[in-house]
Amino acid sequence: MSPIVNRRRAFAAALTAALLVPLTACGGGSDKATDSPSASTGKSAEASTAPEAANLTVLAASSLTDVFKTAGAAYEKSHPGTKVTFSFAGSQELAAQVKQGAPADALVTADTKTMDGLTAELSGTPAVIAKNRLVIATAPGNPHKVGALKDLADTKLKVVLAAPEVPVGRYSQKILDAQKVTVKPVSQEPNVRAVLSKVELGEADAGLVYKTDAEKAAGKVEAVVIPDEQNAIASYPAAALKDSKNAAAAAAFVAWLSTPEAQKILQEAGFQQP
């Protein structure tokens, strides 16, 4: 065979080998990309473990109405893409909604008893995120000179209380019974905001409400302090709901309620530390 033919065959073999190298390298790179979480999702492994942005629905006790609006705005600011919508009502109403399967992600009640009755509907253990106590709300200037719980027994006084199945109603009855004070309310309301409204509108002379509600209505009502030894402490537990469609985001919001940022907002609104 001539030298020229040998050189041509050698050149062809070298060219074929050179072409095969990048094809093999390309195939190997493809396998690695498939196995890599970051390559398949476009996100880092760390990012994939964080709760995704979600639209959260939180059922919350009426006495949290004002402070949770502030807290919700703060949470959305620090968690871009997440929207928090609150539904406020008496804790007993919220419990009924949960048992009926209302679509929601988290629940915050004004007492542990109501939350304890929902064990089967909860995801995880509830955490108390704040505490509160009662005061006597009267008209500005306290025209009837109400100074203590015993004054609420005056039959000439129009007193309004929350219904006994409502947390604030149970707390109210507890402290009245402890002081052996008998009150015949002109009405029993479904939540603390309704009690407060009756006093604000002059439809009642006095009512038992949470300290935070009376403070929020300063100028519209006057708060008569109840001594600690005659008072009751209201606890606010929070929990994610088992049927939430946004389980990770719901758990993250509940956990955030115990952070320094959320606690500062709650305490500035008059709530006590858990």
Phi-psi region for residue 101, left (φ > 0), alpha (ψ -120 to 50) or beta? left
Taking only the tens place, the pLDDT of each residue in 202-245 is 999 999 999 999 999 999 999 999 999 999 999 999 999 999 99
The CATH code of domain 133-233 reads: 3.40.190.10
Taking only the tens place, the pLDDT of each residue in 128-144 is 999 999 999 999 999 99
Q: Are 107 and 238 in contact (CB under 8 A)?
A: yes
The CATH T-level fold of domain 51-131+235-268 is D-Maltodextrin-Binding Protein; domain 2 (3.40.190)
Tokens 């199945």 sit on residue:
165
Token digits for 82? 């997440």
Q: What's the whole-number average pLDDT of the chain?
A: 86
Phi-psi region for residue 45, left (φ > 0), alpha (ψ -120 to 50) or beta? alpha
What is the Cα Rg of the chain in Å? 31
pLDDT for the residue numbered 47: 36
Token digits for 93? 């109403």
pLDDT for the residue numbered 31: 37
Taking only the tens place, the pLDDT of each residue in 113-122 is 999 999 999 9
Alpha-carbon gap, residue 22 to 31, rounded angstroms: 15
Token digits for 107? 């629940």
pLDDT for the residue numbered 46: 34
The alpha carbon of 216 is separated from its chain's Cα centroid by a whole number of angstroms, namely 20
Give the residue extent of every domain in the chain: 51-131+235-268, 133-233
Mean pLDDT, residues 123-129:
96
pTM: 0.80
3-class DSSP string for the chain: CCHHHHHHHHHHHHHHHHHHHHHHHHHHHHHHHHHCHHHHHCCCHHHHCCCCCCEEEEEEEHHHHHHHHHHHHHHHHHCCCCEEEEEEECHHHHHHHHHCCCCCCEEECCCHHHHHCCHHHEEEEEEEEEEEEEEEEECCCCCCCCCCHHHHHCCCCCEEEECCCCHHHHHHHHHHHHCCCCCCCCEEECCHHHHHHHHHCCCCCEEEEEHHHHHHCECCEEEEECCHHHCCEEEEEEEEECCCCCHHHHHHHHHHCCCHHHHHHHHHCCCECC
Taking only the tens place, the pLDDT of each residue in 14-55 is 434 443 444 333 334 433 333 333 333 333 333 334 456 799
Within 10 angstroms of residue 99's Cβ, the number of other Cβ atoms is 12
The four Cα atoms 36, 41, 42, 45 give a dihedral, to 10 degrees, of -60
Alpha-carbon gap, residue 211 to 132, rounded angstroms: 7
Residues 6+ apart with CB under 8 A from 7: none
Taking only the tens place, the pLDDT of each residue in 162-177 is 999 999 999 999 999 9
pLDDT for the residue numbered 27: 39
